[in-house]
Every structure is written in C-alpha cells, then in structure tokens.
Structure 1
C-alpha cells in the first residue's frame, strides 16, 4: 500500500510541475505576444491600406489592432554592435498588457514623433553594454539597401537612423537576446517598407473567445493569410513540453508496474500459506469464485487505498510548493524563485486509473492460484 501511495504521489507531483512549467511559458509569452497574429502565407510582408485595416478593426471581438514591421538590422551602441530583430509597432502596442510578466526597467514608452525611443531585451543590452542613464549616447540602426549598379559609395548601400534607448525587458532568452522594439514610423522609414507590414497583432475583447475570433478572421481574410493564436505561435516548444510530460508519465507508470510485482508475490505467498484455510472453506460449501473474489478484493483494497493516500499526499505537496515555494529553482536571476506547479484534475484521473489497473492486474494471478486449490490434498 505504501509503495502504491509513493508511486502515485510521484506521478501527481511530476505531472503538476510540467503543467506549471507549461503555464509559466505561456504567461511569459503572453506578455510579449498578442492574442492573435495575422501573417502572410507567402513572403514576409503584405500591403495594407486604411480600408483593409478598418475592416479588421470592425471585426467582432477585435479590441486593439497593432501594425507590425519586423526584420533583421544591425544595431550599434558606442563601440559595440550586434544583429538584432527590429520590431516596429504602432502606438497601441503597449496597450495590450505588454511586459506585465518578467522584468522591466526604464521608461515603458516608444517616444513621440520626431523623438523615437526603443525598448530592447536584456540580453541585447548586455551585448551592447547599454547604459540607460547616458543621455548623450544614442543607438544607431543600419539596414542594407538593394544594391545599385555603378555605386562605389559605401554609405549608399545602407540606411542609417538613430534612436534613444528607453527601457529594457526580460521575458525569455530568445526574446531577450534578439528584439529591439521601435515605433512603426521609425521602422517603416529605415526599412523602406512604405505601406507593407510583416504582421498584424490583435487583442481580443473581453467577452469573446479567442478561438471564435480566430476562425472569424480566417474566414474573412481567406487563404492568403495565416491567423495564429498564442499557442500556435509557439507550437513546437509547447509540443516538446507535452511530449516530455507524456514520456515521464509512461516512465513512472512502468516503474509502478515493476513495483507491482511486490503485490503479486505477496498475494501469491499468501495464497500458498492459506491453502489449508482455503480447503476448509471449500469443504464447508464455499465456491471457488468466493475464494477468487477474496484475493481480488484484497488487491482492490491495496490499489484504492494506496491511490487515495498517494493522491492526497501529491495534492498537499503541490499545494505547499505553490503556496510557500519549498523547492527553489536555484537561479538568482530567474523570473520565478521556485518551481511552478499547476494541478489538473485530468492528471489525478489518469494517474488513479493507471495505478488501480496495474494493481488489479497484479492481483489477478494470485487470486486464480488460490481458487484452484485441491481440497482433498490439504485437509
């Protein structure tokens, strides 16, 4: 019973930790990504006009529509330079609950017309040795032009603009090391995009389902565009976490199956030791089905009692971890101090079913042996 309880508890705790990690990743990405993202199916940009944007804004469930221009550019600050992902966004970008999770320092603003400001990832700021308090040093951003025949002036081969760094964010390493957020007009001028956009980011209004708005936009835009929700934008990463969770579940279930041999041998030894008692019961008129049911019920008692105790212990451990952070991540610069946990009733259900099924299967063979005891040879 203790063995079953410990195995059940381990399954509940490990699965809850995987749920917590998945939830943490979703929350962090949600503070940078929009609810829905519209992208071209072919190419990296598409033309927009006011009529097109107005139709998108008037779609039921669309609260905020943010225009996005995104491309790689060379960023230089002082004597240091690095290739970064330049993301130009319209003014309402910061109205979509951006950077609520994670770390942020400085001014959460993209400036105003004529005085643009940039927000960049913490990793990018480390590469550039950025100092937000230095009001005299500006960032320079370079983007290559299309080559023209006969030009020998290096300055004619690229566009250059300067911008003041205003804030630093830290969400996830991929974003921290790559992204430089700038105003849409700044990016459009530097990259010479004109009316072209890389994507449109949408915040779904309260009271509307993200799935409902996503399918409505897909029907409205047709096959030329892709509309992805936050999970689909990071499908490969989330799929990896779920696969890891599945394999851990299967591994621990296999360990439980191996541990169930203890139940098998214990009940088998009990059947051997009680042969005389079984023979007496049979001689008194007891049926072989009665003997079989006694051992199956004993296995069921072990299974259900162990599973119940294990589920309770697992719940208490997860609750204590969530409430008090008992086990730390051991990383001083981490977004969270302790391992995140998130309990789901489906994990409790599948764990219980697995444990009970394995234990009952281990009890069946001893019950069969006990029911076949020869009465005459043991009286």
Structure 2
C-alpha cells in the first residue's frame, strides 16, 4: 500500500492522538497489547506442541526404531536370516535384534515392575539415545556374562540404587518341577544409569546384553523382535512392504505409527484444535482495533470533511485509516513474536520460578511424559501465525476505513 507524503503525515498523526483523545489512545494501546498476547500465546503453544512431537518421536523411535518385526509368541528362532533380509531391503539403514519382557526387580525390600531389554553390546553402545544419556557409570562394563545391567534413572531412584548396587530380577519363566514352574531370582549389578528423558522408559528400563537376557528368560538362541530403522520414517509403509509380504506367516511387522498411533494422533488433533482456538483469540483481539478505529473516525469526522474539501480523495482516506489499523496490528504481531521467543528461551526458568512461587510442581514428569518442557520453532508455522494475525488486523480496518472514505463533507460542515 503506497501512501503519498500527506497521507503518511496524517496517518502518523492519527497513530498518536492528541490530549483530547486519550481514551482512543488507550483503546488503541489495549488493541496492540491484546494482539501481542494472542500472537505470543500462539507462538509459545504451537512451538511447545511441535517440541512435544519432535521429542517424543526422537526418544521413542530412538529406542524402538521406525518399525519392528515381532515373532508370534514373542519368538523369532530364525532371527539372523530375517535381520539380514531387512538390512538388504532398500531404505532400511539398520536391523537390531531385541528381547523385551516385563519382569519384576527388587532391592533392599523395595520392588518395581521393569521392562527387561536384551540387546547386543555393540548395539547398546551405538544407540545415541542410550550412549549419550549416561548419567552415572559407564557402558564399557556391560559385557556378556558379566552380570552387569544398565537401568533408567527413575527406576534407580525408586529402588534407591546407585552404580555398583546389586538388584534382583524376578522371572516367572523358571525350570519346571513336579511341583510346577519355579520362579527364578537372578542378581545383577548396576553398571550404568541412563536418563533418556521419557518418564515411562526411565522408570522401567533394565538393559542387558542379549546373551544374558536369553539366559534369564530361557529362550535359547531365539529373540523376540527385530528393530528396524529407515532413511525416511514418513515412507515406512513402502519400505516395509516387501518384509511384510515375505514374513506374514512367521512374524508381525508394525511401524512407529501403529505402535504409537493414539499418542501421535492425539498430538495432531491437539495442534489443530489449539491453533484454531488461539486464532479465534487473536480475532477477538483485533476487534479492539476495529473499535478504536471506529472511535477515531467519529472523533475525526470534521477533520475528514475538511480534508475532502481540500481535495483528499476517497482512496486516500481509505489508505490512511487502513494504514493506521494495520500498523497497530503489525506492532502487536512484532511484539508478540519477540515476547513468544523470549518465553521459549527462558521456559524452564519461568516454569521453575512459577513452581517455587506457588509451591506446586507445574511440570511433573509422571504426568507430562517428558522430563523437561520441549520446544521446537517451525519457521513456516511462525510465518503463518504472523500472516494470519496481520490479515485479521487488515480486515478489521476495512469497515472504519470505508466509513471515513464515504464521509459527506457537505452534511458534516453544513452547520459549522
């Protein structure tokens, strides 16, 4: 929108009303603050939602892969051949054999349900989610037959163990006797404590060499599943299709969307609903711009009539008032983006400060699934938020701008 010199001067004058128009200035300021808060809320919430999805995807997929090939009855006797076939499949980057079994662990009278996971030692040390999150101890002590295990930080806290402590894992799969199946109790030494950042995993995982897991569960040379990673998780259906067809009779192939369908679908729905609701909040905020412009037009009716008699065109008046309203909206959008980014940068400090002030833990990992508030700023999404807010601000200027442009100078000045 190109303005002439006099149009810019008048628009600048109307953006800073005089003494007798303090109320109009106050309403315009409220409009700016309302748009700022609406944009900041939308930026913060959408970035946090994106962070949730990204963190959950990275951590969950980092431990469970993009897909799993799981044997019926949790048994894959021919797992080496299946793993080799998976590695040769176009798009597959790795295939890792796993054993997972819910069991029970005790230490000094404390007991917790656990998820025992058996992996090859090389795979344990090569998995970034495990390797990069060791809080105590070292993975080097984890070798087959050593009786050493890695446990999650929350599980260590619940049991009251540290590196070097000896926990007892209880397995119902023991030897069969004339009196029934005997429960097995096997001691293991804690060699390392990890914190992957997902509460459910940190509270349950006990990771051990796959040979030790086979011995503990009496599975022989069999494994329970093969974890598959690909070069394109969004194209997982096409990549895994040949394996699904080949092993349909002996194994079930599931991808990350099926394994975590409820979680990621809920996040997607939440993002849409949140964006819609907060966009409505911004829409309500720009109604303040509409109100302030209507009051400004009414207060400046005589000035508008004089401008018309001096040769101002309808288009010029239209541009002046549209510029005034859009400028208020643009300032609010800019301030909202800055406020949103500042909050996201200091989000953990803000949450900690509020928690201390009210004496309540706002971010409880047992309820929030992740140990920290995540955030991921999407430039495309931020651009859309800014454009939507600017569009709403622009639309709010149309009625008062047309009202000003259609002012009849004859009717206004007849009795002056």
**TM-score if structure 1 supplies the norm length?**
0.78
Deviation, structure 1 residue 67 = 0.8
Q: Give the secondary-structure state (helix, strand or coil) at the position aligned to 2:163.
A: coil
Deviation at 1:184, TM superposition (A): 1.9
Residues 343 and 281 of structure 1, relative CA distance in 2, 3 Å threshold: same
Equivalent residue, structure 2, for 1:366: 400
In 2: Cα distance, 1:46 partner to 1:60 partner? 22
Counterpart for residue 74 of structure 1: 104
CA distance in 2, matches of 1:101, 1:289: 63
Contact kept in structure 2, 1:86 and 1:179, CA below 8 Å:
yes
Check whether the contact 1:75–1:142 (CA below 8 A) recurs between aligned residues. no
Q: Which residue of 226, 229, 235 maps to 2:253?
A: 226
1:143 equivalenced with 2:172 (yes/no): yes
Residues 283 and 364 of structure 1: is their aligned pair in 2 closer, same or farther, counting only changes over 3 Å? Answer: same
Residue ranges of structure 2 left out of the alignment (5+ in a row): 1-28, 356-360
Deviation at residue 16 of structure 1 after TM alignment: 3.0
Q: Please point out which of 202, 221, 246 is paired with 2:228.
A: 202
- In the TM superposition, residue 174 of structure 1 has moved relative to its aligned partner by 0.4
Post-superposition Cα deviations, 1:209-264, rounded to whole Å, max 9, x if no partner, equal 455677323333328333424x7654444444454444444443333222223211
* CA-CA distance at 1:175 after TM superposition: 0.9
Which 10-residue stretch deviates more, 61-70 or 284-293? Answer: 284-293
Deviation at 1:98, TM superposition (A): 3.8
Q: Residue 216 of structure 1 corresponds to which residue in structure 2?
A: 239
Q: Structure 1 unaligned runs (5+)?
A: none
Which aligned pairs between 1:161-310 and structure 2 lie closer than 5 A?
A: 161-171=186-196, 172-194=198-220, 196-203=222-229, 208-211=231-234, 215-222=238-245, 224=248, 225-229=252-256, 233-283=259-309, 287-310=313-336
Question: How far apart are residue 116 of structure 1 and its match?
Answer: 3.4
Task: Report what 2:6 is aligned to.
Answer: none
How many Å apart are 1:268 and its aligned residue?
0.8
Q: How many residues align?
A: 365
Give the aligned partner of residue 327 of structure 1. 350
> RMSD between aligned alpha carbons?
3.8
Q: Distance in 1 between matches of 2:258 and 2:105?
A: 30
Q: Is the 8 A contact 1:74 1:143 kept in 2?
A: no
> Is the CA contact 1:68–1:197 (under 8 Å) kept in the aligned structure 2?
yes
Between 296-305 and 165-174, the greater mean CA deviation after superposition? 296-305
d(CA) in 1 for partners of 2:227 and 2:99? 11
1:31-59 CA-partner distances (Å, limit 9, x unpaired): 5x154331349764444243323222333
Of the three residues 53, 61, 77, the one matched with 2:83 is 53
